[in-house]
Structures are given as C-alpha cells and as structure tokens.
Amino acid sequence: MSATDLAPRPRTRTGHCLCGSISYRFDAEPAAVVVCHCGHCQRHTGSAFSVNVLVPRDSLRVEGTPKAVRTTGAENGSPRDRQFCGDCGTPVFTVLHEAPELMIVKAGTLDDHTGIEPTAEVWLRRAQDWVEPSAHRPLFEGDAQ
C-alpha cells in the first residue's frame, strides 16, 4: 500500500435544479466558497446574494443542458455565463471567463450542504443595507484580489 492509497479522497458531491432536469456531480474539494453581493448575483438568484462554490471545471459532470445568459460585470467588465434550468428557472452554474479552469456551482442546488461554509465575501459595496457581513472571513468591497 502506497502513501497515495492512504491519502483522503475528495468527497463526491451531487446536486440538481428544482425540477431535476439538470443534475451534476463533482469529486473535488471546492477551491473556495464565496458569498457574492454584486447586483448581477442578486438578480440571478432573486435574493440578497449568491453563495458560490468554486470547483475545478474538469471535476464537474453535468446531466441535462442548462440554458445560459451572458452578462458583463458592470464594474469589472468580465463576461459571465449564468447557467440555469430552462424548465424550472433554477440558477445552477456560473462560468467566469477570467477563470476558465473553475466552475461556480450555486450552493443552494447541492444535495448535501455539509461542510460548505463561505471563505470570503465579495462586492460588499453592493450588499443590501440589512446584510451584516461576517467578521470571521475575508471581506472585499469589489472582486477578491
């Protein structure tokens, strides 16, 4: 038995949209879990912010075909492909064109949220007035730099 045989394996995570037309799995540890307060994430989720699980793109397997809308960051100018279920409308993924090796999975679509805790918050200058940022994680007024 080698040391690699004893190394812990990443946990496989699964998830799906509300109606189940889009499902996915990934077997890598998230690179980060980021709360985003930008205006586009607020509109995309219909909520005050989005909880984004960044995973290596090559670890993600998707069943079904999400629809996509391309947006451009109002302040950073970076394109994003916001992917959602065409049947039920659930936001499922976001593709950051400046980080093509990563895929954002919307945390609310995970089957099991155990161990998913935000590691940073971004775009605080766009946060709704009633939102209290967490004092125990890094906070950024715009994009994380």
Distance from the Cα of residue 5 to its chain's centroid: 30
| pLDDT over 80 at 2, yes or no | no
d(CA 73, CA 9): 36
Does residue 2 or residue 108 have the better pLDDT?
108
Whole-prediction pTM: 0.88
What residue has token string 């509109």? 43
| pLDDT over 90 at 140, yes or no | no
pLDDT (tens digit, 9 = 90+) per residue, 71-102?
Answer: 987 667 889 999 999 999 999 999 989 899 99
Residues 48-77: b if buried by 16+ CB within 10 A, e if exposed: ebbbbbbbbbebbebebebeeeebebeeee
d(CA 105, CA 100): 14
DSSP assignment letter at 9: P
Average pLDDT over all residues of the chain: 90
pLDDT band at 63; cut points 50, 70, 90: very high
